């Protein structure tokens, strides 16, 4: 399980690095994070973006360690510096193809790759550092919400890109930040692939047996009372992967065509058969 998490996190970081090195960095698109700040600083001091990212992240981790304490998982540190290494590798050591054509194409495909990559890393409870670290510091001392802090910091980097380069670059950077956040949320919803199903049926025993024996998932049985009829019933709560939902629904219809059930998206499910609590 741990090996799989590190493999998926590493693959996600690789996709993120490719999106940055091929599309965003060559066009000076500062889409937030340490990479965005490195692109801005590169305008004033001619160090490669990869080297600037090392400097930024080492400095941020040191400050966070002093002010907040060691509050970062090894996986986050690993992903942060793996991203640094890969960007430096692709940008400076073994340069790869860099797209410098239509900027809007660079923004779209750069964010597509980075969003899928970052979502993969996030889905494995990892992060790539950068503004996440500053947000933790703001949260510790000023009580600022993490999500709003990250958004504010990333937008500030986009504005700085406009001041460092030109207005168009700044606007494309801000557009990238918006697209990146939207795409990450979209991909994460697809990656989590978990749902809760609430089932009320007179044949709940048969449905329960199917879930336990065929789907090999757990079932919680709840005593409920109908608000209109006052009738006491049994309700089943089942958490499962979305790919298993069709099979469950098909068999609920087969067992009891009159069953009543509700399907909810489950953003995170922890425990046996799902994510492990680490």
| Domains of the chain, start order | 2-191 (no CATH), 193-265 (3.30.70.120)
- Predicted pLDDT of residue 97: 94
Task: Quote the CA–CA distance of 241 and 55 in Å, as a whole number.
Answer: 41
Q: What is the CA angle 262-206-258, rounded to 5?
A: 45
Q: Which residues pair with 225 in a beta bridge?
A: 232
Angstrom CA distances, 17 to 25, 44, 57, 237, 276, stand at: 10, 23, 15, 41, 27
Residues contacting 262, CB < 8 A, separation 6+? 197, 198
- Predicted pLDDT of residue 201: 93
- Predicted pLDDT of residue 134: 82
- Predicted pLDDT of residue 276: 65
- Predicted pLDDT of residue 71: 60
Q: How far, rounded to the nearest angstrom, does the alpha carbon of residue 241 sit from its chain's CA centroid?
A: 18
Task: Quote the CA–CA distance of 24 and 108 in Å, as a whole number.
Answer: 10
- Predicted pLDDT of residue 1: 61
- Predicted pLDDT of residue 266: 78
Task: Quote the CA–CA distance of 13 and 114 in Å, as a whole number.
Answer: 8
pLDDT in tens, the chain (278 residues): 678 888 989 999 999 999 999 999 999 999 988 999 999 999 999 999 999 999 999 998 888 888 877 666 788 889 999 999 999 999 888 999 999 999 999 999 999 999 999 888 887 777 787 788 888 788 777 777 766 788 889 999 999 999 999 999 999 999 999 998 888 878 876 666 688 999 999 999 999 998 998 888 899 999 999 888 889 999 999 998 876 788 888 889 889 999 999 998 876 777 766 666 65
Question: Residue length, the chain?
Answer: 278
Closest by CA position to 80, among listed 38, 109, 43: 38
Q: Which residue has the tokens 């953003």?
A: 267
Residues contacting 40, CB < 8 A, separation 6+? 30, 157, 160, 161, 164
Neighbouring CB atoms inside 10 A of 81's CB total 18
- Predicted pLDDT of residue 42: 94
Residues contacting 126, CB < 8 A, separation 6+? 5, 9, 12, 73, 75, 76, 78, 79
Query: Is the distance from CB of 39 to CB of 160 less than 8 angstroms?
Result: no
Q: How far, rounded to the nearest angstrom, does the alpha carbon of residue 28 sit from its chain's CA centroid?
A: 24
Task: Quote the CA–CA distance of 170 and 29 in Å, as a whole number.
Answer: 8
φ/ψ region of 169 (left if φ > 0, alpha if ψ in -120 to 50, else beta) reads alpha
- Predicted pLDDT of residue 216: 83
- Predicted pLDDT of residue 278: 56
């Amino acid at each position: 399980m741990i090996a799989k998490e590190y493999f998926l996190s590493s693959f996600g970081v690789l996709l993120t690095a490719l999106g940055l090195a091929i599309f965003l960095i060559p066009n000076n698109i500062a889409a937030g994070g340490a990479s965005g700040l490195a692109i801005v600083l590169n305008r004033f001091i001619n160090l490669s973006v990869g080297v600037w990212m090392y400097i930024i992240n080492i400095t941020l981790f040191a400050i966070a360690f002093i002010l907040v304490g060691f509050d970062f998982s090894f996986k986050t540190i690993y992903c942060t510096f793996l991203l640094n290494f890969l960007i430096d590798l692709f940008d400076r050591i073994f340069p790869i193809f860099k797209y410098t054509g239509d900027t809007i194409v660079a923004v779209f495909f750069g964010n597509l790759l980075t969003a899928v990559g970052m979502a993969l890393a996030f889905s494995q409870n990892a992060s790539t550092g950068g503004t996440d670290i500053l947000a933790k510091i703001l949260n510790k001392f000023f009580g600022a919400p993490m999500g709003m802090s990250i958004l504010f910091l990333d937008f500030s980097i986009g504005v700085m890109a406009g001041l460092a380069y030109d207005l168009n670059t700044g606007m494309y950077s801000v557009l990238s930040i918006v697209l990146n956040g939207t795409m990450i949320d979209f991909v994460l919803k697809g990656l989590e692939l978990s749902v809760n199903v609430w089932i009320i049926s007179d044949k709940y025993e048969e449905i329960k047996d199917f879930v336990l024996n065929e789907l090999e998932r757990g079932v919680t049985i709840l005593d409920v009372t109908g608000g209109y009829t006052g009738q006491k019933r049994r309700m089943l709560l089942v958490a499962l992967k979305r790919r298993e939902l069709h099979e469950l629904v098909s068999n609920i219809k087969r067992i009891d065509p009159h069953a009543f059930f509700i399907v909810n998206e489950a953003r995170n499910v922890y425990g046996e058969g799902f994510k492990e609590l680490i």
